[in-house]
Chain A
Amino acid sequence: MFAYIIRRIFAAVVLLLVVSAVTFAIFFLLPRFAGETTDQLAAQYIGKNPSPEAIAAVKSNLGLDQPLYTQYWNFLKALVSGAEYKFGPEPATCHVPCFGYSFKNHLEVWPEMTSRIPVTISLAIGAAVLWLVSGVTTGVISALKPRSIFDRLSMGVALAGVSLPVFFTGALLLTLFSYEWPILDNLEYVDFTDDPLMWARNLILPWVSLAFLYSALYARLTRAGMLETMSEDYIRTARAKGLAERKVVVKHGLRSALTPIITIFGMDLGLLLGGALITEQVFSLKGVGQFAVQAISDNDLPKILGVTLLAAFFIVVCNLVVDLLYALVDPRVRLS
């Protein structure tokens, strides 16, 4: 088991390295395709009518004049050992993990980015709990009574759920419950540790609008999985052995139907932790996604690079956790 864990973690680290290299290449190469020169890139950092000397200084200070692989190497080096920049009154130390300085406001990227993580985690986890519970329950009931009214109705709603854009549902909820009937007004993120009740109250609407989309997906998935497993031989055997129906459903049916769902759940959660871009935008939540959108609209390369890597990190970690959980539950996985 231990060896397996080490192997998986090592693989995850390699994966992240590859992702970072590709991301780095894309974001520094793409502007070239769009016709941007290194000078223009440096000029972005300085702003108004920069003099050629100022551009040259920035280029050498940020290392923009070096070959791409050297720049990438420096980026990695800064990530693990920090870096020093010669701007401002004193040489500034960019602490580990150093993602560099924003082109726009010249502040360190990492602390700014991490200050957004609690918001996004709250949003993602809350919504995930909501959609898992509602989606799986609906799916199971539907599967047990296929073609019943409940089944048709909930699958109809689910179909609508996956067919509606989240910004539409979000805007609708916000208008209805925050302004039309102001039962949930003044929504503003509050830290869980400060006031758990306010935390939950102010996140309910974004949770619901996200969960609506996902629970629809998960209900359909669960229903399909349950229908499949419930027709398997071992279920018939369990029933024949006189096991209580509830036990059959929960212990045997649900368990194996949920296995593929856990994998997908790991991926979805990972993606969301990297920022629920649209939901955060609609609800003015200052999470990682909002940070990303702002960075992109400012064309702030170090921030874009940082937030992409952070998002990739979450995806990889979530997948890793799922894999390890499997290994824990099912010893066969470790051997393959």
Chain B
Amino acid sequence: MRRSRTLALTAAAAAVVMVVTGCSSSAKGGSGKSSAGANDANAGGANAAVKNIVNASDKKGGTVTYEMKGTPDSLDPGNTYYAYIYNFSRLYGRPLTTFNPAAGEDGNKLVPDLAESLGQPSADGLTWTYKLRAGLKYDDGTPITSKDVKYAVERSNFAPEVNSNGPTYFHDLLVDNPDKYQGPYKDKSGDLKSIETPDDTTIIFHLQHPFADFDYLVSAPQTVPVPQAKDTGADYVKHIAASGSYKFESYEDGKQAVLVPNTNWDKSTDPIRKQLADKIVLKMNIDQATIDKDLLAGNAQVDLVGGGVDPQTQAQILRDDKLKAKTDNAYGGRLVYMAINSKVAPFDNIECRKAVQFAIDKVAVQTALGGPIRGQVANTVLPPDIPGHQDFNLYETKDNKGDEAKAKDALKACGKDSISTVLSARTERATEVAAATQIQAQLKKVGINVEIQQFPQGKYLTDSAGAPQFTQDHNIGLMMMQWGADWPTGYGFLQQIVDGRAIKPSGNSNLAQLNDPAVNKLLDDAAVNPDRAAREKIYGDIDKKVMESATYVPLTDFKVFLYRPDNATNIASTPAFSGEYDYLNIGTTK
């Protein structure tokens, strides 16, 4: 799961992911047809950037200022796992493929970037071939070759002692060398045999098993080319070789980065980037209240983290129709849920799990999580903005407000009058703790006595909720959690949290420890199925199977609440990056 916000000491609301097909806002705008530069593209209004590119403009010049709370894990494309850096890094680095800079569904579309077309899978699905565009150069004028892409994948996936932040999908998916590849730092002469570069513009990946979403995988900044001669390990972040439309003018760790146009970037090799602003400044470690005020005053154009404004700025904006017209309330492709630990008694009994499903008043929980602005009540695991989502509700209660009678019946069927268990939550997340407190009170009414235990979020998955033995030892039957996908497909969303084979002794994301052979098989089927529509149907089926097991209690589908200043151009909220604005072509009229 990509992370969206730094682990700030002060309470942090969180955000990752995407947008909207059936968003409630569709009442306002046209048909949902959304293409850049369309007639109504410049029309403002609430949620305009969820459907169209707002303030579409080709005006050049000016300085675009990004501000962020905290610091990113790294701006090094090979060493990051934050959705907003995935988004931002495209300004200075070009992955093989990337997401179309557009609003709504169009933003979910993959387009070739460094590659001249999407990948060519072999018939058996085990080999993927990409061909690089001609005439690509780094900011120093040297040519970009496919070997640099290969090197980038090697350094980001096989050298955890240096580049530890990013995910390791390539490591897990590519065929390893017979003698276990040690990474480019330890093994200077060797290389990973399963990535072939027969010439300077071709790159071929050999997979252990078919993987239909591979094009999504190579959209990660881990395929942004890195010249081996320039790689200085952890220090590389201080002088990143730029392949995108901007290059680094300066970088001060924890303070700010300044980007200027890359003169060696050639528009003819790049159909999606515009290179509008004269300068892009990223300021780090800014107080969220200050960021909000700077956005409202037009001093800054974008809040990089993209989770949305502070609660009080939000209330101020909502009370003012003029301000409200400049906001976007988009789905963040993220589910807020409570996992029921199927390995901790008495929740190994499905009836006891059902009692929890019925007991919860989701509307009250939604309020504690910040109200409908911060998320719609959810009844399925897949959020509505992930292709394959189907609407259904297996545990219906009146108005989603819970049903004590049904819950008590289920409890009886489970053979219990009362249950004592522990509910875990993350200390730094004020709303998560508030929601847990709500749930505690609701469960008490049906005879389930819950003790809330809080853990620091930095260790939540490694040492507490994500360590099955720990949950066993501490009677943790219920766990608060949020989940966003690494890429916007059902597989990207579901695999880590429902695949029984993904359960790990530490860093486990399948908190419910659901291990259903039927679910596992469906996942495998989807991974190899080349037909997109068929895959999406399977994701819906998996969702149903998971809900039948009653192991996950979906609470809300998270939404971001973003403000777009008047002087920012080409603003589009994209589902591909957690509902954040697409950062590729934001300019300014300032």
Contacts and interface: CB of A to CB of B under 8 A. Distances in A.
Contacts of A50: 160, 164
Contact of A284 (B6, B161, B287): B287
B175 to A, nearest CB: 17
Nearest to B504: A49
A290 interface: yes
A105 B253 contact: yes
B23 interface: no
B320 interface: no
B233 A298 contact: no
Nearest to A280: B285
B122 interface: no
Interface residues of B, number: 48
A54 B286 contact: no
B232 A290 contact: no
A282 interface: yes
A170 B255 CA distance: 21
A48 interface: yes
Given A87-B234, A92-B233, A286-B254, A106 B9 contact: no
Nearest to A285: B285
A210 B560 CA distance: 36
A81 interface: no
Contacts of A87: 161-162, 185, 233-234
Given A89-B184, A178-B293, A104 B286 contact: no
B385 to A, nearest CB: 26
A19 interface: no
Given A297-B8, A297-B9, A179 B293 contact: yes
Interface string A57-85: 11001000000000000000000000000
Given A107-B253, A284-B287, A298-B458, A54 B160 contact: yes
Given A88-B232, A112-B253, A284-B286, A54 B70 contact: no
B361 interface: no
A171 B8 CA distance: 19
B250 interface: no
A47 B293 contact: no
B275 to A, nearest CB: 26
A54 B299 contact: no
Interface string A17-56: 0000000000000000000100010010111111100100
Contacts of A90: 232-233
Interface in B269-298: 283-287, 289-290, 293, 297
A105 B73 contact: yes
Nearest to B180: A53
A50 B70 CA distance: 25
Nearest to B255: A286
A174 B254 CA distance: 22
Contacts of A188: 283
A40 B71 CA distance: 23
B162 A106 contact: yes
B237 interface: yes
Contacts of A104: 73
Interface in A238-296: 281-284, 286, 290-291, 293-294, 296
A54 B74 contact: no
A104 B164 CA distance: 9
Contact of B234 (A40, A58, A105, A286): A105
B254 A112 contact: yes
B234 A106 contact: yes
Interface string A182-199: 100110100000000000
Contacts of B284: 286
A291 B161 CA distance: 23
A40 B463 contact: yes
Contacts of A179: 293, 297
Contact of B165 (A36, A47, A49, A88): A47
A101 B234 contact: yes
Nearest to B188: A89
A101 B235 CA distance: 11
B396 interface: no
Contacts of A186: 299
B7 A297 contact: yes
A237 interface: no
Contacts of A293: 9
Interface in A159-174: 171, 174
A107 B235 contact: yes
A115 interface: yes
B286 A89 contact: no
B233 A294 contact: no
B231 interface: yes
A294 B254 CA distance: 9
Interface string B180-203: 000011001000000000000000
Given A43-B506, A51-B160, 13 more contacts: A47-B165, A49-B507, A90-B232, A105-B73, A105-B74, A106-B233, A112-B254, A115-B255, A284-B290, A286-B254, A286-B285, A290-B285, A297-B6
26 contacts: A40-B462, A43-B506, A45-B161, A46-B161, A47-B160, A48-B164, A48-B165, A49-B168, A49-B507, A61-B161, A88-B234, A89-B228, A89-B232, A92-B233, A92-B235, A105-B253, A107-B237, A115-B252, A178-B293, A182-B297, A188-B283, A283-B287, A284-B286, A294-B71, A294-B285, A298-B458
The 10 nearest A-B residue pairs measured at CB = A88-B233, A47-B164, A106-B234, A297-B9, A46-B160, A284-B286, A284-B287, A46-B164, A286-B255, A179-B293
